[in-house]
Amino acid sequence: MGRKHLYIIGLSSLLSVSLIWYFFIKKNDYSISFKVKAAPGTVFYGIQAWSATQQGNVSVLKKKNFNFIEQEIENGYVDLVYCWNIQSVNDSVSKVNVGIKDLNNSFYNRITLPFFNTSFKTEQVGNVKAVKEALEEHIKNFKIKIDGVGKSEETFVAYINLKCSLEKKAQAMMKNDAIITGFLHSNSIRITGRPYVEINHWDQDNELLDFNYCFPINKATKMIVDEQVKFKTLASVKGLQATYWGNFMTSDRAWFALLDYAKRHGYNLANKPLEHFLANPFDGGDELTWEAKIIIPFALK
């Protein structure tokens, strides 16, 4: 067999394998990438916020570590699967790659996409562009500065224990603010500083929190037995610290920035953030002047 025939056979085999992979093995019909100046966790929640605005039934098929989420969106005859991979590029930028598959028209899409500007392609480019633009608008509403290694102060507090999803942390605090402050006022216990949030447990897979909403008080205060309000000393902790400016509803964006920074720079964190809110949102004003100090302790060796 001549060299020419071997070349043709080799080329035909390569083409056959490529076509089999493209039509039958390749997971997605179409892929789109973009970059955004945000930590992967912030992007993760931005994607979920976008999907919540979509018509039809939205379900999460898989998710992992705030850097991967697979969603299915069903709306009538349209059944789409989005696979979002989020990678940290540096301390301030993430790269997002989304693979999209139309479960009802996948084969047709794979035939037409290389040659035509189809409605499927146009719609998906528009959807991903909407996600990117929404993220860019969102990150204008807060600022984060990584301060480096820091240490919190030991503080005696009255606190109330709360459990909720991560995205409802601020709502849980506001809902229970009158309970703890009312208790302190009715018992003539003076608040001596700005409130803290102490995370006891962060279930990242299920996005759930167990935390204490704390108000500093005088350590000499006589402790009163109550079913909801308790007393304790917040121990001083050493860890990685950031300063956050913005609405406290999204202060967890600083958590994600710290986790990403720690991963890139070799810090091992305990994933139990401690937040110290230095402004009172009830005073109003420019949200970008609302300041909070956030520290995530180093993990015990």
Same domain, 157 and 278: yes
pLDDT at position 82:
95
The answer, yes or no, to whether residue 21 has pLDDT greater than 50, is no
pLDDT at position 23:
43
Last-in-domain residue among 142, 157, 191 = 142
The answer, yes or no, to whether residue 145 has pLDDT greater than 50, is yes
pLDDT at position 250:
95
More confident residue, 250 or 11: 250
Q: Which structural domain range is residue 35 located in?
A: 3-142
Same domain, 55 and 131: yes
Q: Which residues of 170-182 are buried (b: 16+ CB within 10 A; e: fewer)?
A: bebbeebeeebbe
Same domain, 110 and 162: no
CATH number of the domain where residue 229 is located:
3.20.80.10
Q: How far apart are CA 87 and CA 71, in angstroms?
A: 18
The answer, yes or no, to whether residue 114 has pLDDT greater than 90, is no
Q: What DSSP assignment string belongs to 20-50?
A: HIIIII-S-SEEEEEEESS-HHHHHHHHHHH
Last-in-domain residue among 93, 112, 142 = 142
More confident residue, 22 or 114: 114
Same domain, 31 and 159: no
pLDDT at position 4:
57
Tell the burial category of 54 from Cβ atoms under 10 Å away from its Cβ (0-12, 13-18, 19+): middle
More confident residue, 26 or 292: 292
Same domain, 95 and 177: no
Same domain, 79 and 153: no
pLDDT band at 59 (very low <50, low <70, confident <90, very high): very high
pLDDT at position 123:
93
pLDDT band at 2 (very low <50, low <70, confident <90, very high): low
Same domain, 122 and 171: no
pLDDT at position 218:
95
Q: How far apart are CA 228 and CA 46, in angstroms?
A: 34
Same domain, 148 and 291: yes
Same domain, 112 and 250: no
Q: What is the mean pLDDT of residues 60-78?
A: 91
pLDDT at position 20:
43
pLDDT at position 17:
41
pLDDT at position 77:
80
pLDDT at position 116:
72
pLDDT at position 83:
96
Number of domains in the chain: 2
The answer, yes or no, to whether residue 101 has pLDDT greater than 50, is yes
pLDDT in tens, 208-243: 999 999 999 999 998 898 999 999 999 999 999 999
- Nearest Cα neighbor of 94 from 295, 266, 261, 294 is 261
The answer, yes or no, to whether residue 139 has pLDDT greater than 80, is yes
Last-in-domain residue among 90, 125, 142 = 142
Same domain, 18 and 155: no
The answer, yes or no, to whether residue 38 has pLDDT greater than 80, is yes
The answer, yes or no, to whether residue 25 has pLDDT greater than 90, is no
Pair 211, 166: CB distance under 8 Å: no
Same domain, 12 and 105: yes
pLDDT at position 3:
62
- Average pLDDT value over all residues in the chain: 89
pLDDT at position 5:
54
Same domain, 111 and 246: no
